[in-house]
């Protein structure tokens, strides 16, 4: 009865392991897809455009040559496929009629979903890698660690290359471990741990090389996978030499096999990289220039706010901040691997150590650059936990009772798993909850849309909001570039400031009074601090202006008045405010013209735009309204000094027929200095 009972226990363990893996994958997917719409329609991550916008450009133009080789192109091409599927979906439901109409905010959800899918799949691949190297229990632990690691979770929300590089790095490590002979070691669950022997070793090496090339064509840093590939080849050669010792052959070193494997590896890497970045050879000049530029940036020129004199400590500190126990256990796992130096240890260290050395050799530090390394650290941590639990289990008094050992080991594993994952899981859940909340930028946008009517003029600093065409937007420069009186003179109602980028000092902003609205992160949401100022412009009907009374469209519209300075400089902009009073609904869209004329009637400057920059078409004007229409006129630098007349009017842009009842309307003179 012992043998059937043993088989039943093994089957139970396998079912339990599979159920645990399914649960871990579901948790990983939940965390990675929960906040996938984060920040949209704004794109908060500074690097998403490099992949997503490039993919949209390729689809729209049909030109697959990248604008830059700062990143390899594999993930860009994958996102081109996502963009094509997204377009087909949009066309099928009638929202798109051409690829030019693709809405980036809608597409980003699909593009991010691919990253989240790869991030979730990476958890499964981590399980497979750890199981192959250290057994199924280590595989389950490593998958749990990666599933809840906040950086791995957060990076999976964006259209960037780090999570895809992690996915392809794991594929490469799995391929590398397939052509090494098994190393029999029993884990605490009684399962055989080892590496799978491959019959056609040259073919397996070639496949591993292709996987390495694909990883490098996702992110250049993954090229260090060549080191574990070479180590694996060395182990395979050593195995062959041990086999030959039992034979009468005189030559123990299989030189021909070594050359064959090295050639297979080299060809595989070249093929894999070319599959992902097919234009690298044709564009090799640009590739080398961009690689050199990246190296200079990371080593010499630097990146303000993202530099460290001790990069290794920065990365370890960043990992310790979000998963302190895991960081220590991973370090212990690395030290254990150095001491044991088993095949699994050597292969994993052959990737970890060069990657860490690479990160530590540059002054620019971004923790997301370490994302491809995280699964290997989780595997090392899992191996350390399994080794510790196995050792503790062996020392129990009931050593002769295998079921007691397994029960004790299970308790120890659950305790270790809880201690290691509690903090990162809590942080990951908190981060995801924040990603699901509207950002400060979205809240500020919603406030403006609620309070600003169509045609309202708004000054936006750089890196603030995106507003619809019904509002008249201007800006780019800091609000403090002009005094408050300038904004009221030009008809700006609201001024939007991004206080986080500190382009306007507090003393200068204080002159604008207290903001009417403030949006800060305050631990409840992500985003910068946005301030909105109200200039205090009141009723348009009460604003001072020079009366006119000229009529247009048979009296449908009256130029109630106008306002502009008496003098301006050549090469500057003359602020001109026109006040239209609606007596009868025009029922048609007209264009306003503004001309600057000399004494002979020659036109020296001209402006032709719909009223309020198109935000309030005349077809929507209602009886009784008084509409302020700012038609600021740019005076060319070539206009000589003198006094010039300003005339205005409206015309039908289809027929070019003017609708002024008595010809162009004179609205005073201006002296050009």
* pLDDT, average across residues 79-88: 97
Please name the residue ranges forming H helices in 490-544: 506-510
Looking at the predicted structure, is the pLDDT value of residue 258 above 90? no
Q: Please spell the DSSP secondary structure of 76-116, one letter per residue.
A: HHHHHHHHHHHHHHHHHTTS-SSGGG--HHHHHHHHHHHHH
What's the longest Cα–Cα distance across the chain? 116
From start to end of 198-277, where are the E strands?
none
Predicted confidence band at 3 (pLDDT cuts at 50, 70, 90)? low
Q: Which one, of 65, 40, 130, 71, lies nearest residue 445 by Cα?
A: 40
At residue 185, the pLDDT reads: 46
Integer Cα distance of 390 and 408 in angstroms:
10
CA 122 to the chain's CA centroid: 18
Q: Which of 378-387, 418-427, 504-513 has the least mean pLDDT? A: 504-513
Strand, helix or coil for residue 439:
coil
pLDDT (tens digit per residue) in 471-507: 888 888 889 988 998 888 888 899 999 988 766 677 8
At residue 12, the pLDDT reads: 60
Q: What is the 8-class DSSP label of residue 499?
A: G
* pLDDT, average across residues 181-201: 47
Highest mean pLDDT among 119-123, 191-195, 398-402, 600-604 belongs to 119-123
* pLDDT, average across residues 179-197: 48
To the nearest whole number, what is the mean pLDDT of the chain? 88
pLDDT (tens digit per residue) in 274-301: 999 999 999 999 999 989 988 888 888 8
Predicted confidence band at 236 (pLDDT cuts at 50, 70, 90)? confident
Looking at the predicted structure, is the pLDDT value of residue 248 above 70? no
Predicted confidence band at 253 (pLDDT cuts at 50, 70, 90)? low
Phi first, then psi, for residue 645 (nearest 5°) are -95, 145
* pLDDT, average across residues 17-43: 93
Predicted confidence band at 43 (pLDDT cuts at 50, 70, 90)? confident
**Residue 188 or 640, more confident:** 640
Looking at the predicted structure, is the pLDDT value of residue 249 above 60? no
**Residue 585 or 404, more confident:** 585
pLDDT (tens digit per residue) in 568-577: 999 898 989 9
Bridge partners (DSSP) of residue 628 are 579
Predicted confidence band at 250 (pLDDT cuts at 50, 70, 90)? very low
* pLDDT, average across residues 620-634: 89
Q: Which of 53-57, 63-67, 400-404, 416-420 has the least mean pLDDT? A: 400-404
Integer Cα distance of 566 and 466 in angstroms:
35
Distances (CA, A) of 274 to 73, 176, 211, 239, 331: 10, 19, 11, 32, 36
CA dihedral sign of residues 592, 593, 594, 599: negative
- Which tokens belong to 43? 């794109």
Secondary structure, 3-state, 156-202: CCCCCCHHHHHHHHHHHHHHHHHHCCCCCEECCCCCEECCCCCCCHH
**Residue 398 or 486, more confident:** 486
The CA-based angle 81-86-92, given to 5 degrees, is 130
* pLDDT, average across residues 307-311: 87
* pLDDT, average across residues 80-84: 97
b/e string for 338-349 if b means 16 or more Cβ within 10 A?
eeeebbbbbbbb
- Which tokens belong to 268? 């595989």
Integer Cα distance of 130 and 570 in angstroms:
73
At residue 183, the pLDDT reads: 47
Phi first, then psi, for residue 188 (nearest 5°) are -70, -20
At residue 462, the pLDDT reads: 85
Which is it for strands 626-630 and 577-582: parallel, antiparallel or unpaired? antiparallel
**Residue 462 or 337, more confident:** 337
Q: Answer whether 461's CB lies under 8 Å from 477's CB.
A: yes
Q: Which one, of 325, 320, 371, 384, lies nearest residue 142 by Cα?
A: 384
For the chain, give every residue range classified as CATH 2.60.40.770: 543-672
At residue 194, the pLDDT reads: 41
Q: Answer whether 474's CB lies under 8 Å from 457's CB.
A: yes
At residue 352, the pLDDT reads: 96
pLDDT (tens digit per residue) in 323-345: 999 999 999 999 999 999 888 99
CA 250 to the chain's CA centroid: 59
pLDDT (tens digit per residue) in 49-63: 899 999 999 999 999
Q: Which one, of 116, 126, 128, lies nearest residue 162 by Cα?
A: 116
- Select from 3.90.1010.10, 3.30.43.10, 2.60.40.770, 1.10.275.10 the CATH code of 543-672: 2.60.40.770
At residue 470, the pLDDT reads: 84
Q: What residues have CB less than 8 Å from 268, skipping those under 6 apart?
A: 205, 206, 207, 208, 209, 210, 211, 212, 213
Q: Which of 184-198, 221-235, 238-252, 506-520 has the least mean pLDDT? A: 184-198
């Amino acid at each position: 009865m012992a043998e059937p009972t043993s088989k039943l226990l093994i089957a139970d363990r396998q079912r339990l392991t599979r159920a645990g893996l399914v649960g871990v994958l579901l948790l990983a997917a939940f965390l990675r897809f929960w906040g996938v719409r984060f920040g949209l329609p704004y794109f908060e991550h500074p690097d998403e455009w490099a992949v997503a916008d490039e993919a949209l450009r390729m689809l729209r133009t049909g030109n697959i040559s990248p604008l830059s080789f700062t990143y390899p192109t594999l993930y860009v091409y994958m996102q081109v496929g996502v963009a094509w599927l997204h377009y087909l979906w949009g066309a099928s439901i009638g929202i798109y009629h051409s690829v030019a109409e693709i809405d980036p905010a809608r597409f980003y959800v699909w593009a991010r979903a691919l990253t989240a899918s790869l991030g979730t799949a990476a958890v499964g691949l981590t399980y497979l890698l750890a199981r192959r190297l250290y057994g199924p229990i280590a595989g389950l632990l490593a998958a749990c660690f990666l599933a809840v690691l906040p950086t791995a979770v957060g990076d999976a929300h964006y259209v960037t290359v780090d999570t895809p590089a992690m996915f392809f790095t794991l594929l490469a490590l799995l391929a590398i471990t397939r052509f090494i002979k098994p190393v029999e070691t029993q884990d605490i669950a009684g399962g055989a741990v080892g590496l799978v022997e491959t019959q056609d070793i040259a073919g397996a090496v070639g496949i591993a090389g292709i996987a390495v090339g694909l990883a490098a064509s996702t992110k250049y840093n993954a090229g260090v996978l060549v080191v574990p590939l070479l180590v694996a080849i060395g182990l395979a050669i050593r195995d062959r030499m041990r086999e030959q010792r039992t034979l009468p052959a005189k030559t123990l070193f299989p030189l021909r096999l070594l050359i064959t494997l090295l050639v297979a590896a080299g060809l595989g890497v070249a093929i894999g990289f070319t599959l992902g970045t097919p234009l690298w050879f044709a564009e090799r000049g640009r590739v080398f220039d961009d690689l050199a530029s990246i190296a200079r940036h990371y080593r010499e020129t630097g990146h303000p706010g993202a530099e460290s004199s001790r990069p290794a400590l920065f990365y370890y500190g960043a990992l310790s901040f979000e998963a302190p126990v895991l960081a220590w256990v991973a370090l212990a796992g690395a030290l254990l691997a150095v001491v044991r130096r088993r095949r699994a240890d050597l292969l994993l260290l052959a990737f970890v150590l060069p990657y860490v050395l690479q990160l530590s050799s540059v002054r620019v530090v971004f923790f997301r650059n370490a994302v491809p390394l995280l699964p290997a650290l989780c595997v090392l941590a899992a191996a350390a936990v399994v080794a510790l639990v196995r050792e503790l289990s062996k020392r129990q008094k009931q050593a002769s009772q295998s079921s007691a050992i397994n029960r004790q080991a299970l308790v120890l594993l659950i305790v270790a798993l809880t201690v290691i994952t509690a903090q990162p899981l809590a942080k990951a859940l908190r981060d995801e909850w924040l990603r699901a909340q509207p950002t400060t930028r979205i809240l500020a946008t919603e406030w403006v849309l609620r309070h600003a009517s169509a045609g309202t003029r708004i000054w936006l600093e750089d890196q603030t909001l995106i507003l619809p065409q019904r509002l008249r937007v201007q800006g780019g420069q800091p609000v403090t570039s002009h005094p408050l009186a300038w904004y009221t003179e030009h008809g700006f109602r609201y001024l939007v400031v991004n206080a986080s980028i500190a382009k306007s000092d507090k003393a200068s902003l204080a002159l604008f009074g207290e903001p009417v609205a403030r949006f800060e992160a305050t631990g409840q949401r992500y985003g910068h601090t946005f301030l909105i100022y109200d200039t205090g412009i009141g009723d348009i009907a009460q604003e001072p202006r020079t009366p006119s009374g000229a009529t247009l469209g048979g009296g449908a519209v009256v130029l109630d008045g106008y306002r502009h300075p008496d003098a301006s400089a050549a090469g500057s902009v003359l602020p001109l405010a026109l006040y239209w009073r609606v007596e009868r609904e025009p029922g048609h869209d007209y264009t306003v013209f503004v001309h600057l004329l000399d004494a002979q009637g020659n036109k020296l400057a001209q402006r032709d735009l719909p009223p309020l920059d198109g935000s309030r078409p005349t077809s929507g004007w209602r009886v009784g309204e008084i509409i302020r229409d700012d038609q600021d006129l740019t005076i060319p630098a070539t206009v000589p000094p003198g006094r010039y007349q300003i005339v205005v009017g409206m015309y039908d842009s289809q027929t070019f027929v003017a609708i002024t009842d008595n010809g162009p309307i004179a609205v005073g003179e201006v002296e050009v200095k």
